[in-house]
Structure 1
């Protein structure tokens, strides 16, 4: 049985790059969950601990309990990370 892929978008309201990521995922029919970091510095602390960044968007793609984070801004980075992932 294949592992289910999970996609989490760390974002904040009003972020144009975040909206671009979400729109792309919707266009590709990729389900995702959102973590809104606005007014939540503790969430940015988590990003800093996990990936060494405090900015958004960060997209986490997980399969079988193992996640990788896309921290670079730009859809080309997300598209590359999604290649070969059965979403």
Structure 2
């Protein structure tokens, strides 16, 4: 995997989809940071401004100066986004 890969998971407490994403990343040995939007509507406002969504999980993947976000729910979307950078 690229050494400069940055992964951020926007999630909330009690979100089964969020937990599924974090478990998958851990199983793949992909380090990630978490932004917890629980009780923080201002964080949801940021997601709305950046990506036009207020739901979680949202996974931001950065490599070098190229960033992309996975806003669709389902591991297949995350796997597809990681495929080019995950070895």
TM-score interval, smaller chain: over 0.9
Counterpart of 2:18 in 1: which secondary structure?
helix
- Bigger drift between 33-42 and 2-11 goes to 2-11
Equivalent residue, structure 2, for 1:23:
23
Query: Where in structure 1 do 4 or more consecutive aligned residues deviate above 2 Å?
Result: none
Give the number of aligned pairs.
Answer: 86
Deviation at 1:64, TM superposition (A): 1.5
Compute the displacement of 1:46 (Å): 0.5
**Residues 26-35 or 65-74, more deviating:** 65-74
Output the CA distance in 2 between the equivalents of 1:48 and 1:35: 15
Q: Tell me the TM-score normalised to structure 1 length.
A: 0.93
CA contact (8 A) 1:61 1:69 kept: yes
Q: Give 5+ residue unaligned stretches, structure 2.
A: none
Structure 1: which 5+ runs fail to align? Answer: none
Matches of 1:58 and 1:85, distance apart in 2:
18
Please state how far the C-alpha of 1:65 moved relative to its aligned partner. Answer: 3.2
1:11·1:34 contact (CA, 8 Å) conserved in 2? yes
Alpha-carbon distance between aligned partners in 2 of 1:21 and 1:85, rounded to the nearest angstrom: 17
Aligned to 2:75: 75
Q: Which shifted more, 63-72 or 36-45?
A: 63-72
Aligned-residue Cα RMSD (Å) equals 1.4
